Amino acid sequence: MTSFFFSLLTTSQPTFTPETLEQQLLQEDALLRGHFRLSSGLHSDTYVQCARFLRRPDLAAPAAAELARQLREAGLVPDVVVGPAMGGVVMGYELARQLGVPGIFTERDDAGQMTLRRGFIVEPGQKIVIAEDVVTTGKSTNEVARLLQGLGAKVLAVASLIDRTSGQADLSFPNFALLPVTAATYAPADCPLCRASLPVVKPGSRPEKAFS
């Protein structure tokens, strides 16, 4: 009887696909179109507000499970998952849960530098997967990687819901993402949306000084 119910539960789970994620993002108003200023300072016609998606544990868990499956299939099983605050905190926790390893997060200090706080540590030689909600340019991911590598850890990969770079981020480790999102990005001085006088929105969580 137990094996019957276990079989029923496992076979009834839908297959997770990029199309599934895109539809869920749209349903949650997490995939936005317009004129946005990104955390990198660039402007874009597309913004992915992953927090609206990740507020739903029933959506976050299957997505993280698929990332965990892909990492295991590639032989990249970490000792620790690190999720940069803020966007990577929830994703990092859920991915760590799916992989059965500890999950911690980095955050910015008063000088704006990414660091480990709250008693979090990584040991020399530990294998790390960096968890992100969205990889936009790869800049912040590389910043976290440098911090961890400076502590003697080995970064295996970055795993994210969204890759806005279509695999073009300048990373020295594998980049796993569930959904590539094609989005135009512009330097503020060369932004056609600005020239069209479309109001710019800064929907992220970083303070204004991050864009100076």
Q: What is the pLDDT of residue 122?
A: 95
Domain coverage including residue 62: 18-196
- Length, in residues, of the chain: 212
Which parts of the chain sit beneath pLDDT 70? 1-14, 204-212
Residue 123 is assigned to a ligand binding site: no
Residue 132 is assigned to a ligand binding site: yes
Residue 55 is assigned to a ligand binding site: no
Pairing type for strands 31-37 and 43-48 reads antiparallel
Residue 127 is assigned to a ligand binding site: no
What total of structural domains would you count in the chain? 1
DSSP 149-183: HHTT-EEEEEEEEEETTTT-S--SS-EEEEEE---
Pairing type for strands 43-48 and 154-163 reads unpaired
Per the domain annotation, does 47 fall within a domain? yes
Residue 17 is assigned to a ligand binding site: no
Residue 112 is assigned to a ligand binding site: no
Per the domain annotation, does 160 fall within a domain? yes
Residue 133 is assigned to a ligand binding site: yes
CA-CA-CA-CA torsion sign (5, 11, 12, 18): positive
Residue among 99, 61, 101, 105 at smallest CA distance from 82: 105
**Model pTM greater than 0.85?**
no
Residue 138 is assigned to a ligand binding site: yes
Residue 164 is assigned to a ligand binding site: yes
Per the domain annotation, does 9 fall within a domain? no
Q: What is the pLDDT of residue 204?
A: 60
Per the domain annotation, does 4 fall within a domain? no
Q: Is the Cβ–Cβ distance between 147 and 120 less than 8 Å?
A: no
The C-alpha torsion from 68 through 71 and 73 to 78, rounded to 10°, is -100
Per the domain annotation, does 8 fall within a domain? no
Residue 206 is assigned to a ligand binding site: no
Per the domain annotation, does 115 fall within a domain? yes
Per the domain annotation, does 105 fall within a domain? yes
Per the domain annotation, does 180 fall within a domain? yes
Residue 46 is assigned to a ligand binding site: no
Here the CATH number for the domain that contains residue 51 is 3.40.50.2020
